[in-house]
Amino acid sequence: MKSNKLLIAVLALVYVGVPLLLGANAYVMSLVIASLVIGGIALSWALLGNLGGMVSFGHAAFFGVGAYTSAVLSMQHGVPVFAGILLGGVGAVVAALVMLPVLRLRGPYFALAILAYAHIFRILATEWQSVTGGSGGIASIPRLPTLFGYDFASKTGNYLVILTIVLVFALVYDMIRRSPHGLALRAMHDSEDATRVVGVNNTLLKGLMLLVSAFMCGVVGAFNAHYINFLEPDYAFSAGWVTIPIVAAIFGGYRTITGPLVGAVVVYLVDQLFVKNLMPTGHQLVLGVVLVAMIISSPDGLFGLARKFMRKKDATA
């Protein structure tokens, strides 16, 4: 009961408190929205890495395909924006279906193979000029609409939409983890051979996690396309959509559900609001140093560090 009350208080704070406190500052709100976009990618990456046991360097493929799918459908076929965002996730799932053969690979071979797919999709987006606009990209992508008299294209509207998206995905992540399939995936993470002996279809479960992860990342990419209203291949399939979320997920604790989200918000906001002001160029070096320090001192991320601190505090009490 106490935990439920705390959860309701936290949700009320993020849904109502953040717009009330920061809504008048468009710059800070744009940073918060960007951090939630990164948090959504980090969550989808952590789901695949934690439950699926697969380290992906190719999530930019899902992000870019989702973005282009929604942008093209809304601009060239008149699909409503919110429906287009969901179909962006479906487009990413279709892209993931092409990648299913690489599930037979393990470790760095899987990571490199899926990275190669991201480059392939970027090249396709560049060359398919009649649909994607080629290297020139697509401009004037429709913004989020006004529904029931509320303008979702405003900063606060965009914030509420991306916040809802990542919270729903976190709930789905939690439901999967608590299900029998989640239990099998966690066991598979420790020993694939052992789970195979007891009849678990490892390849099927990995494939399902890849598709779910791709859908999440594709929806986030689609939202981002309608938020920034512009898209071109080098941006949509940028390696930055992989590296920063991975840093955020590891920093926050990728084995937890809230870790990637908290890590994304902390890492991105601290970098943009403080570190970047002190070091206009090369500020990412600080993130790298902090990440290395975090991995050495607490491989489970911020939450692992907090647990260590609480245990130490209890022991000395």
Q: pLDDT at position 8, please?
A: 74
Alpha carbon distance 142, 230 (integer Å):
9
Q: In this structure, what DSSP letter does residue 135 have?
A: G
Task: Give me the residue label for tokens 């678990």.
Answer: 200
Q: pLDDT at position 187, please?
A: 77
Q: pLDDT at position 204, please?
A: 84
User: Which of 229, 231, 233, 265 is closest to 247 using CA atoms?
Assistant: 265
Q: pLDDT at position 2, please?
A: 58
Alpha carbon distance 221, 158 (integer Å):
13
Q: pLDDT at position 274, please?
A: 81
User: Containing domain of residue 22, as a range?
Assistant: 1-315
- Could you list the pLDDT tens digit for every one of the 317 residues in the chain? 556 677 777 887 888 888 888 878 888 899 999 999 999 999 998 888 877 777 888 889 999 999 999 999 999 999 999 999 999 999 999 999 988 888 777 777 888 888 888 889 999 999 998 888 888 889 889 999 998 889 999 999 999 999 999 999 999 998 998 888 888 877 777 677 767 776 777 788 888 889 999 999 999 999 999 999 999 999 999 888 888 888 888 888 878 888 888 888 888 888 888 887 777 777 777 777 877 777 777 777 777 777 777 777 666 66
Cβ-Cβ contacts under 8 Å for 41 (sequence gap 6 or more): 59, 63, 217, 220, 241, 245
Beta bridge partners of 230: 139
User: Which of 172, 165, 203 is closest to 41 using CA atoms?
Assistant: 165
Over the range 103-128, which residues count as b (16 or more CB within 10 Å of their CB) and which as e? beeeeeebbebbbebbebbbebbbee
Would you state the structure tokens that stand for residue 162, as one six-digit string?
């991306």
> Other C-beta atoms within 10 Å of 9: how many?
10
CATH number of the domain that residue 123 is part of: 1.10.3470
Q: How many domains does the chain have?
A: 1
